[in-house]
Amino acid sequence: MTVKRKPYILLCIIAVLAALLGIPRLFSMDYYLHIFVMSEIYAVLALSLSLLVGFTGQVSMGHAAFYGMGAYASAILSLRLGLSFWVTFWMAGLLVGTVAYLIGRLVLRLRGHVLAITTAFFCVLVTVVMNNWIPVTNGPMGITGVPSPSPFSLFGVHAVIETRAQYYYLGLLFVACVVYFLWRIESSRIGDAMIAVRENEELAKSIGIDTMKSKVLAFTISGALAGLAGAFYAHYIHFISPVTFTINESINILVMVIFGGMSTLFGPILGAVCLTILPEFLRMAGELRLVIYGIALIVFIIWMPMGIWGTIQRILLPKGPEKTQG
């Protein structure tokens, strides 16, 4: 089964890559390219949250806080210290990862809905700080004039990131690197430990797995990746404000993960793309969009708990021993 399936998998991968690389030519309008770039940002956010929710089984409602912290950190470092995006991008990820580690050490002793409520409170607290720490964050007015990534040369090629298409390709590279990074974690002993914690934490403890260490590591990596996504967002939009990083955004990211498939790598990407494009068709619904998301969330939890990608895998891939061979 493996030998027969590999050529088809390779052809599918090549076709998907060709389609992704050709999108700026097929959809040349800035409006469409903006939607695709935002889809890439949300794909990274959904992937980062899936490491915590899907692979480790810990519910977090505070992901938008790390997203916002990364955006503000990179914007402030760029504007006040004059640092390049290529420096502030990594500094934001490191800073947010450190904060995520400290928060994780405190909150991951909790479980279930208590953990969800605590992380939601943390998100609200961060939003309050963004709104009221005016000397640093400029309060509700936000921060304007966040610079674009500076030109750079790589292997003799001079690149400038200014147009939507250039941001699209940079975002595509960003998503690809995150997928590869998470795939390496998933296929390692670290990933096995995280999955063991998700399946049965008490049993994982009994066989010698440091469950707290696994959960904190997942929380730290998840927060750091969200911080990187925030930095990318700030330098793409050139403006940030607390309105973008509220608890509603955390719910939005969680719905993307559940919609696409929590325990897969490609599911969150699919969920992010679908739920970034879908609001464009629901723009007339206004605030009812959140109601529609809530209904969709309930439907997926009850009838499609594995999400779209997980359901597709269950239908297409053979069951039993053959599935492990594919």
Q: What ranges do the domains of the chain cover?
A: 30-247
Model confidence at 5: pLDDT above 60: no
The arithmetic mean of pLDDT across residues 241-249, rounded, is: 93
Model confidence at 302: pLDDT above 50: yes
Q: What is the pLDDT of residues 9-19, one digit of tens each?
A: 667 677 777 77
pLDDT at position 267 is 85
Greater pLDDT, 286 or 81 = 81
Model confidence at 321: pLDDT above 50: no
Q: What is the pLDDT of residues 101-153, one digit of tens each?
A: 999 999 998 888 899 999 999 999 999 999 999 999 999 999 999 999 988 76
Compute the distance between CA of residue 127 and CA of residue 185 in angstroms, rounded to an integer. Answer: 31
Query: Of 89, 130, 31, 99, which is closest to residue 233 (Cα–Cα)?
Result: 89
Strand spans (E) along the chain: 143-144, 152-154, 157-159, 239-240
CB 90 within 8 A of CB 74: no
Compute the distance between CA of residue 196 and CA of residue 194 in angstroms, rounded to an integer. Answer: 5
Share of the chain above pLDDT 90, in %: 52
CB 33 within 8 A of CB 20: no
End-to-end C-alpha distance for the chain, whole angstroms: 7
Q: What is the pLDDT of residues 16-64, one digit of tens each?
A: 777 777 887 777 778 889 999 999 999 999 999 999 998 898 989 999 9
DSSP state letter for 320 = T
Query: Of 320, 270, 326, which is closest to residue 300 (Cα–Cα)?
Result: 270
Compute the distance between CA of residue 138 and CA of residue 130 in angstroms, rounded to an integer. Answer: 8
Query: Of 155, 172, 138, which is closest to residue 240 (Cα–Cα)?
Result: 138
Q: Which amino acid is at 21?
A: L
The pTM assigned to this predicted structure is 0.86
pLDDT at position 311 is 65
What number of other Cβ atoms are within 10 A of residue 312's Cβ?
16
The arithmetic mean of pLDDT across residues 194-223, rounded, is: 91
